[in-house]
Amino acid sequence: MNSFRIFSVFSKGLLAAALLAWAWSVPAATADDLPTTPKAESLMAKIRPKLQQDLQAKGFTVGQPIFVRIFKIPGTLEVWMNKGRGYQLFKTYNICTYSGFPGPKLNEGDWQAPEGFYNVAAEQLNPNSGYHLAFDVGYPNEFDVAKHRTGGLIMVHGNCKSVGCFAMTNGRIEEIYFLAHEALAQGQEQFSVHIFPFPLTQRNLRKFSASPWISFWKSLEPGYAAFEQLKQVPEIAVHNGEYVVASRGPKLAMRHSLFGQD
């Protein structure tokens, strides 16, 4: 059964207004607010010239807002960037390794990487990581806490070794970390990280319909579809322990009327 609860139009309006008010109340980070080390500064200085060229070749500039999507299958991390007309894909990075299998993280020490909707603020960057460079994805979030899921310190990091995290090669995490650092330094309050077992198309959901996690994956589908449709990062909230999507735009509101699915 779809875990999204039915809201009135009035309730949806209140939810969207509350989320907007919260976002306005959070001060943006500045470059001086971001954690750093001489090592991280050196690595970012080294990667900057080439990455600037790659960005310019695709019409992007350093410091534009970013959005990250992770798919356990096929094992990729996407970095999207916002030019002001919605997000466009900058680059897809292969994940070197991650822990566990498709499905959410449940407990501390289960060696399982999480799935769901997370956010990364300046203080979650770790320039002094023992795994080259890293950022904490924000597990457990409010949804995870409501489900009594335990554990923490789930990172995207380098060194290609994982005990619950998403491990990249050092070269790949240098690029991803640089893009995150510069976006936060230039005023993005936080960036979203959406973690899925695979692209949540209807075809894939049918393909994996026998999984014990199919109901959970269907509960993630409206958030996945919201971005796919408008290329705007949807506002995701938690109500009564379940994810809800604060729709953006009339098309999205129609598609997910009353927070239902197709």
**Rounded CA separation 48/226 (Å):** 32
Q: pLDDT digits over 186-206, tens only?
A: 999 999 999 999 999 999 999
Q: Is residue 219's pLDDT more than 80?
A: yes
34-to-29, 121, 243 alpha-carbon distances in Å? 7, 9, 30
From 157, 160, 122, 124, select the one nearest 139 (Cα to Cα).
Answer: 124
Q: pLDDT digits over 2-50, tens only?
A: 433 333 333 444 444 444 444 444 455 556 679 999 999 999 999 999 9
- So what's the pLDDT on residue 32? 66
- So what's the pLDDT on residue 247? 59
239 pairs with which residues across the strands? 242
Active site residues: 157, 165
| CA-based radius of gyration for the chain | 18
Model's pTM, two decimal places? 0.83
**Rounded CA separation 153/124 (Å):** 10
- Give the distance, in angstroms, between the CA of residue 253 and the centroid of all CA atoms in the same chain: 22
- So what's the pLDDT on residue 11? 44
Helices (H), ranges, 138-185: 142-146, 170-185
Task: Give the chain's mean pLDDT.
Answer: 86
| DSSP output for 205-225 | HHHTTTSTTHHHHHHHHHHHH
- Give the distance, in angstroms, between the CA of residue 21 and the centroid of all CA atoms in the same chain: 21
From 257, 223, 217, select the one nearest 104 (Cα to Cα).
Answer: 217
Residue 238 has φ and ψ, to the nearest 5°, of -125, 125
Please, how many CA atoms are within 13 Å of residue 139, restricted to the half-sphere of its CB?
Answer: 28
- C-beta of residue 90 within 8 angstroms of C-beta of residue 58: yes
- So what's the pLDDT on residue 71? 98
Q: pLDDT digits over 54-104, tens only?
A: 999 999 999 999 999 999 999 999 999 998 889 999 999 999 999 889 999
Q: What residue ranges define each of the domains in the chain, with the CATH number in brackets?
A: 9-259 (2.40.440.10)
Least confident of 37-51, 91-105, 222-236, 247-261: 247-261
**Rounded CA separation 202/97 (Å):** 26
**Rounded CA separation 77/171 (Å):** 14
Percentage above 90 pLDDT, the chain? 77
Residue type, 97: T
Q: pLDDT digits over 177-187, tens only?
A: 999 999 999 99
| Structure token pair of residue 140 | 């457990």
- What is the average per-residue pLDDT within 234-244? 93
